[in-house]
Structure 1
Amino acid sequence: MPGFTRYLLAAACVISLSACDQVVDSAKQQAASMVAEQARNAANDLKQQASAVLADAGLDASKVAEQLSTQREALKQSAARLAGSDWQVLDQYVGQYPQDLGLYTELSPITPELKSLLGDKIKVLRANMAVQGPLSRDGVLYATGNKAHQGGAEAAYVLIDTRQRQLEVGLIERGQLTVYRTQGSTLVQPKDVQTMLGNLQHK
């Protein structure tokens, strides 16, 4: 009989532990469900707030979302066209804006050289090209730009010799110019870049 009693006690313990596991699992599921529900509610609140802000500005949230989607798709397509190592593919995009082309993105043919040349300063280049002119040609391809609301104090230019695969990047930080060049002959600066740097010297 004592053996049977011990068996009953052991069985009772197993049942109790099983019940505890079920309670814990149930609690975990309830907690996960609550977190998911809170996340959905927060996302819906943000969407409603964003829609309200856009509505106050006289904009249709669905149309804005559609435009953003279209722009993202266009950027993907442009970046895909630039993918590869052929710099001369850039020659056909004179007149288009670097940001629309994805000129400084990972898929651009000049990005590996830009990273090698600038290191972490490539982030400064991207920031200082926030407001930019189109990709232009004057002897070499070039683009100029400046940081939003910073004028000439935070600006940049990029010169690209697509045939010789040479780059020159000028970064203007706090009104001070630093020039980065790949090895090879010095690139002739286009008139727009000369004017940009001349204005910097007169400040």
Structure 2
Amino acid sequence: MRLVAPVSHCHTALAALALALLAGCGSTAPTAPSVSSTSGGWGRAAAPSPAATATNPWSNLQAQVGRYPTDGADFLRTGPLAERLRGLLGATNYPVLIDNLGVSSPLQQEGAMLYITGNRPHQGGTEAAAVVIHPGKDAVRVWLLTGGEEWDVQDQGAPKTVPADVATMMENARR
């Protein structure tokens, strides 16, 4: 996993340690990703399963465009996207993402990108998230606003663009 864009001036080792310590004290801020020698960057990258590499892991998700996660199969909690999100965010931060998508848009499409945006109920503007899937590049990018911090991470490859709605959401959070 790679940090897509620095969004805070405090991404030092000391800040990472402080966030990790705060996470154990009930903080809603995600814990700092750990450095992994196998992923070549922040955290651990989600390795696609052999079955997923043989077929398009996103074909079932494409059929969900226009649906909310709660309409039928919950694509945020089960299936290939859920697996990638868990691998990208880890056991501590994945639930923060799910909470921050508690009030969400349906799965949408802009060009080749699939995406969903949302916020934690009654906490819009302070606890929010967006997930962008680039099926052709087999990349997942997550933007997370929580605990006064922005996180913008992608599981593999060079930083990918985000849909206009997501870019607007990210910009508005910085104001």
- Give the structure with the larger helix fraction: 1
Given candidates 127, 135, 138, the residue that maps to 2:107 is 135
How far apart are 1:99 and its partner, in Å? 2.8
The root-mean-square deviation of aligned C-alpha atoms, in Å, is 1.5
How far apart are 1:109 and its partner, in Å? 1.2
* Correspondence 1:95 to 2:66: yes
- Look up the SS of the partner of 1:110 in the other structure: helix
- Look up the SS of the partner of 2:80 in the other structure: coil
How far apart are 1:91 and its partner, in Å? 1.1
Q: How does 1:168-179 map to 2 (within 5 A)?
A: 168-179=141-152
- What are the Cα deviations for residues 158-198 of structure 1, in whole angstroms up to 9, with x where unaligned? 00112322100111003321112111132211010111111
CA distance in 2, matches of 1:99, 1:198: 28
Tell which structure's C-alpha radius of gyration is larger.
1
Q: How does 1:1-203 map to 2 (within 5 A)?
A: 85=52, 86-100=57-71, 101-105=73-77, 107-119=78-90, 120-139=92-111, 140-202=113-175
TM-score of the two chains, using structure 1 as the length reference:
0.55
CA distance in 1, matches of 2:140, 2:70: 18
- Look up the SS of the partner of 2:70 in the other structure: helix
- Look up the SS of the partner of 1:198 in the other structure: helix
- Give the structure with the larger strand fraction: 2
Mean alpha-carbon deviation: is it higher for 145-154 or for 111-120? 111-120
Count of paired positions: 118
- Look up the SS of the partner of 1:142 in the other structure: strand
User: Which letter does structure 2 place at the counterpart of 1:143?
Assistant: I
Provide structure 2 residue ranges, at least 5 long, that are not aligned to the other structure: 1-50
Q: Indicate if the aligned counterparts of 1:90 and 1:162 stay in contact, CA closer than 8 A.
A: no
Greater RCO, CA 8 A, separation 6+ = 2
Provide structure 1 residue ranges, at least 5 long, that are not aligned to the other structure: 1-83
Percent of paired sites with the same residue:
37
CA distance in 1, matches of 2:68, 2:59: 17
